[in-house]
Amino acid sequence: MAPPITGTTDVSRIEAPVTAKAYMMCAFASFGGIFFGFDSGYISGVMGMPYFIHLYTGLPYPGADASDAEKKAFSLPASKKSLITSILSAGTFFGALIAGDLADWYGRRTTIIMGCAIFIVGVILQTASTGLGLLVAGRLIAGFGVGFVSAIIVLYMSEIAPKKVRGAIVSGYQFCITIGLLLAACVDYGTQDRMDTGSYRIPIAIQMLWALILATGLFLLPESPRYFVKKGNLEKAAQVLTRLRGEPEGSEYIQQELAEIVANHEHELSVIPQSGYFGSWMNCFTGGLRNPSSNLRRTILGTSLQMMQQWTGINFIFYFGTTFFQGLGTIKNPFLIGLVTTLVNVCTTPISFYTIERFGRRTILIYGALGMLICEFIVGIVGVTAGRESLHNNAAVSSQIAFICIYIAFFATTWGPGAWVLIGEIFPLPIRSRGVALSTASNWLWNCIIAVITPYMVGTDKGEANMGSKVFFVWGSLCTACFVYSYLLIPETKGLSLEQVDKMLEETNPRNSAKWVPHTTYASELGMVDEKLPPVHDEKVGSGNPAAVV
């Protein structure tokens, strides 16, 4: 039997105080970023390994006295680079879409564990591969698992994290992605010279460890309380909140937080038409473009935000950085430079834990886009100014690498975590799992598109663009679009509960959102404040009558 709950009119008391133990429970979920990052990062180094190139192309190893042209020719063709890299993103795109349904049917935590299991199957196939077919199939299956995790882990963390540190905790997910990228670069660096299948099998197989750790840890963590509210099981929701917030059973704080979640869900259900399976997906696109808080506007914001994150060009560095640095000609060990760039990513990302809560989501995304576009245009200008001599110009290459590292630092402290934080905050509970899934799918769709076309943009074979450093003019132009987009369309959600974000979107616009202050609660609007409402047994939330849901 669910306990009777009473809301509050005090906007500062809609969330219970949180203990250090509860913080650690919330933060552990971000571990999912490690195998996401490792899986994205290891392939860049593997595609530049001599044994891997020889195995997949049949080309003979170039000797020590080989010419520059012969050494340059010893590489995977653009078509294979494109296929091997992009197939993971294709699988992840569909995995993210499927995950939205599973998260509503079986729970957020269960869906993530299922994703870990699917991912392990894909890794096993990749590890066993000695040909392109099985490797591609394994990456496709692993992509489904990554899609499950990348879509739902952000949803899960956003729903269980305290509002005051929600941005920092979700940023921890991006930090774990950078750690995964760094670990992948370290493993690639250690196995690059092996002349056997261990050169690529070791980096691939290690990924299973990260999935096993995440799945095991999630067995010990609670389900999202908002999932139980959505399912109408308020007794379980109260139990989970008690555990998450470290409060005693029956705490007034827990009653008030639960009342606000229930009241907000009731409000959203009253304005969102309830229908069948396909209708529930269509709810993500209702409300019209003129309504600033409509589901359509939120879905466009979430999907375009993830598209813009990919437009920054960051995955060009982490997918194709090793082969790009090889083409610069003056770098003796491109694997080491790849390691340096991932190390910059890791070391600068924790800065976002502070800045995202101190300055807010909107502010850091605006200035992050500005910093990235400046760095990218400088890299492109240096490359064009040096001309053909840039291939053997140590000063030009060194300055390019320096500004690439500064560009990575801007991304790591702003757009890297910021985009993930926002998509977990902007959707109302009735469509949150599907909204986050659509946004994550958008990330992977553009990830896939960029992975497909980039090898042809910088490839040097006949019929390929051979842009070289000029490709950074493309990324710089796209970052300029990100800058304008941030200023015009991104709202400020710092310091608000997920329920308060809904009200903020109803009452203000993005450019004035930072000035908005909470002034009422959903519980008070639905009359759940002054009287104890009678408990019921597992009633389905959605009747529109507050007394029927508590």
The Cα 192–Cα 331 span in angstroms is 16
pLDDT of 273 reads 64
Handedness of CA 342, 344, 350, 352 (dihedral sign): negative
Which among 355, 308, 259 is positioned nearest to 15, based on CA atoms? Answer: 259
Handedness of CA 57, 63, 69, 71 (dihedral sign): positive
**Spans in the chain with pLDDT lower than 70:** 1-18, 21-22, 26, 63-64, 66-72, 271-276, 319, 321-323, 325-335, 387-393, 460-461, 463-465, 521-550
pLDDT of 370 reads 96
Alpha carbon 498 to its chain's center: 18
Residues ≥6 apart with Cβ < 8 Å to 70: 62
pLDDT of 2 reads 44
pLDDT of 537 reads 35
pLDDT of 545 reads 36
Q: Quick one: 189 exposed, middle or buried, by C-beta within 10 A (0-12, 13-18, 19+)?
A: middle
- The encoded tokens of residue 294 equal 């409509």
| Number of Cα atoms under 13 Å in the Cβ half of residue 339 | 12
Q: Are 506 and 293 in contact (CB under 8 A)?
A: yes
Task: Write down the pTM of the prediction.
Answer: 0.78
Which among 539, 540, 497, 12 is positioned nearest to 264, based on CA atoms? Answer: 497
The Cα 240–Cα 222 span in angstroms is 6
pLDDT of 535 reads 40
pLDDT of 539 reads 38
The Cα 413–Cα 359 span in angstroms is 12
Alpha carbon 62 to its chain's center: 40
Q: What separation, in Å, do the N-terminal and C-terminal C-alpha atoms of the chain show?
A: 10
Q: Are 233 and 549 in contact (CB under 8 A)?
A: no
Please report, for the chain, the start and end positions of each structural domain, with discontinuous segments joined by +.
20-61+74-231+287-502
Q: Are 31 and 150 in contact (CB under 8 A)?
A: no
At position 323, the amino acid (one-letter code) is T
Which among 445, 322, 324, 467 is positioned nearest to 384, based on CA atoms? Answer: 467
The 3-class SS string of 344-385 reads HHHHHCCHHHHHHHHCCHHHHHHHHHHHHHHHHHHHHHHHHH
CATH of 20-61+74-231+287-502 among 3.20.20.140, 1.20.1250.20, 3.30.413.10, 3.90.1640.30: 1.20.1250.20
Neighbours of 21 (CB within 10 A): 10
The Cα 185–Cα 109 span in angstroms is 29
Q: Are 301 and 493 in contact (CB under 8 A)?
A: no
Which among 239, 246, 203, 206 is positioned nearest to 224, based on CA atoms? Answer: 239
Alpha carbon 9 to its chain's center: 35
436-465 tens-digit pLDDT: 999 989 988 898 888 788 878 877 667 666
Alpha carbon separation from 464 to 45, 198, 431 (Å, rounded): 22, 32, 43
pLDDT of 15 reads 64
